[in-house]
Amino acid sequence: MKFIDFYDLEWHDAAILKIVVDRSYPESHNQIRLDVQWPDSDNTFSSIYFVDFIDFKVDLCGGIICDETIMCASIEEITRKTTDSRFKYEYDEIIRSTGEKITHHSNEKIYKYEIETATTNGLIAIVAKGFYLTEKYSEYRGA
């Protein structure tokens, strides 16, 4: 596991290979995994884990016979004034929809991660408490 600044990742032209939602222990373990092939000279792979996710929305099109590449990605801390125009995230609505989990931990920061795709003009939006990245590897190990 490697901790890194979200904006230090080479998002543009990276390919999304797999999206996995893990709710195997919902009371303590909610995470989303993105398997990504990076556009570096070695075509390396890694997995990005978004931990303790609160909300997850995907707007992608299937049936396209090519890689789902990323155009750009962003991160924003969610505050009471945060509003998202495409998926209409509002801090108060997130608190209401998730109930006790967020209000109980109201001092914890939460973030909105957005990944826009170039291939289908799609959007992956994740509200979570954080993320981490596996080390890059040379062969895809997706399971």
- Secondary structure tally for the chain: helices H, strands E: 2, 8
What pLDDT score was predicted for residue 62?
80
Return the closest-CA partner of residue 134 out of 46, 43, 52.
46
What's the structural domain count of the chain?
1
Q: Pick 93 or 55 by higher pLDDT.
A: 55
DSSP bridge partners of 42: none
pLDDT digits (tens, 9 = 90+) for 65-89: 888 999 999 998 876 555 555 555 5
Mean pLDDT to the nearest integer, 41-58: 88
Mean pLDDT to the nearest integer, 131-137: 83
* Inside any domain, residue 89: yes
* Average pLDDT value over all residues in the chain: 79
Q: What percent of the chain has pLDDT over 90?
A: 36
Burial profile 59-73: b = 16 or more Cβ within 10 angstroms, e = fewer: eeeeeeeeebbbbeb
What pLDDT score was predicted for residue 16?
94
Whether the predicted pLDDT of 36 surpasses 80:
yes
* Inside any domain, residue 112: yes
Whether the predicted pLDDT of 33 surpasses 80:
yes
| Range(s) of the domain holding residue 68 | 6-133
* Inside any domain, residue 140: no
Tell me the whole-structure pTM to 2 decimals.
0.78
